[in-house]
Every structure is written in structure tokens, then in C-alpha cells.
């Protein structure tokens, strides 16, 4: 399973570790992902999502049904 949030689309990005002597080596920044189950009252079913902390805040703000609709329109989630 890839490290991509199904609500926001956040994914792994690359950058540099910078030492005290300013030597740069490649590293990865991983999103803060969690696997969670949500109950969607409109469809009366449970949905398991891999969401970031920011994705959880969006679900709390807009509701799970609207968040899933927007994520599906953007191509982050497939029903």
C-alpha cells in the first residue's frame, strides 16, 4: 500500500539531511498517515481509509460524506 493520504493526496517528498559540516544526503519526508474506519450514515456502510492528520481534520470539519465526495472528484479516493 502506497504512502498517500486518500483525502488530501499528501505523499512522500524528498529533501536533504544537512549535517553540521553542511554535507547533504538525500532523505524522505513521510506524511503522518493512520489507517482508520469511518461510518458513512448516508450510505449506511463502513469505509476504511488511510488518512493523514490533516485529512482527519478535514473529515471533522466537512463530514465524512462530503470529504469522500471531494476526494473522489480530485482522484485521491475510488469508491
> How does pLDDT run across 14-73, given as a tens digit for each residue?
999 999 999 999 999 999 999 999 999 999 999 999 999 999 999 999 999 999 999 999
User: pLDDT by residue (tens digit) across 6-27?
Assistant: 999 999 999 999 999 999 999 9
At residue 79 the predicted structure's pLDDT band, cuts being 50, 70 and 90, is confident
Q: Does the predicted model carry a pTM greater than 0.85?
A: yes
Compute the distance between CA of residue 17 and CA of residue 43 in angstroms, rounded to an integer. Answer: 46
Identify the burial level of 69 via C-beta atoms within 10 angstroms of its C-beta, where 0-12 means exposed, 13-18 middle and 19 or more buried: middle
Cα–Cα dist 5/10, whole Å: 5
Domain 13-74 in this protein, CATH class? mainly beta
Amino acid at each position: 500500500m502506497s504512502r498517500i493520504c486518500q483525502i488530501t493526496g499528501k505523499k512522500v517528498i524528498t529533501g536533504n539531511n544537512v549535517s553540521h559540516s553542511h554535507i547533504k544526503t538525500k532523505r524522505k519526508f513521510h506524511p503522518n498517515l493512520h489507517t482508520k474506519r469511518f461510518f458513512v450514515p448516508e450510505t449506511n456502510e463502513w469505509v476504511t481509509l488511510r488518512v493523514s492528520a490533516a485529512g482527519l481534520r478535514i473529515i471533522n470539519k466537512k463530514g465524512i460524506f462530503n470529504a469522500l465526495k471531494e476526494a473522489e472528484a480530485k482522484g485521491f479516493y475510488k469508491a
